[in-house]
Amino acid sequence: MNLQHDPQLSRREAGFSLLEVIVALGILSVGIAAAVSLFTAGTAAHSRAVDRLKSIEISESIFAAVEGALRDGADLDDIRNGDVVSDILSRWPGVRVDLAFSTVPKPEFVDAVVVRMRIMRKSRGQQIEESFEQIIARSRSVRLIPE
């Protein structure tokens, strides 16, 4: 019984070489790093989207209140000095709003007012500022005046 040792056969049976294992681990680590970076970027984009949606909700409430006040016969000074905005902001503590009013510089927009709004608030320890702008048509009061 004569057994001979074949070096080619033993090398194939031995498994992977150290170089192959190192290359495989390098490829795996690059893939994991890419997945982690995509996950963190997605999480950051989601938090920015949530902050933007909250600001949009606040702005739509204020625009609707301003439009309602104008429809009910209030003028711009009443809105600036009144409780229209402060009543709405009581639902969102820590939110500040700056309103600016102007007219549309075109003759066909006589009864329109441009409302510019800046919303400032804190979210996750950072100051967030969003700006919104809307054209609102000023109409006559729809309230019936008692005679």
The string of pLDDT tens digits covering residues 19-73 is 999 999 999 999 999 999 999 999 999 999 999 999 999 999 999 999 888 888 7
pLDDT at site 72: 82
Query: 60: domain range?
Result: 16-137
3-state secondary structure of 96: strand
Q: Write down the pTM of the prediction.
A: 0.68
Does the structure show a pLDDT above 60 at 96?
yes
89: amino acid identity, one letter? L
Residue 5 lies in a domain: no
- What is the side-by-side strand order in the sheet with 112-123? 96-103, 112-123, 126-137
**Could you tell me the two tokens for 32?**
């994991």
118 band by pLDDT with thresholds 50, 70 and 90: very high
pLDDT at site 74: 81
Residue 120 lies in a domain: yes
Residue 76 lies in a domain: yes
Q: At a CB cut-off of 8 Å and minimum separation 6, what does 135 contact?
A: 104, 109, 112, 113, 114, 115
Residue 144 lies in a domain: no
Q: Which of 114, 123, 133, 100 is nearest to 53 (CA)?
A: 123
Residue 129 lies in a domain: yes
* Interatomic CA distance for residues 20 and 13, integer angstroms: 15
Q: What is the chain's percent helix, strand, coil content, to nearest 5? A: 50, 20, 30
Residue 1 lies in a domain: no
Residue 127 lies in a domain: yes
Residue 142 lies in a domain: no
pLDDT at site 10: 58
Q: What's the number of domains the chain is made of?
A: 1
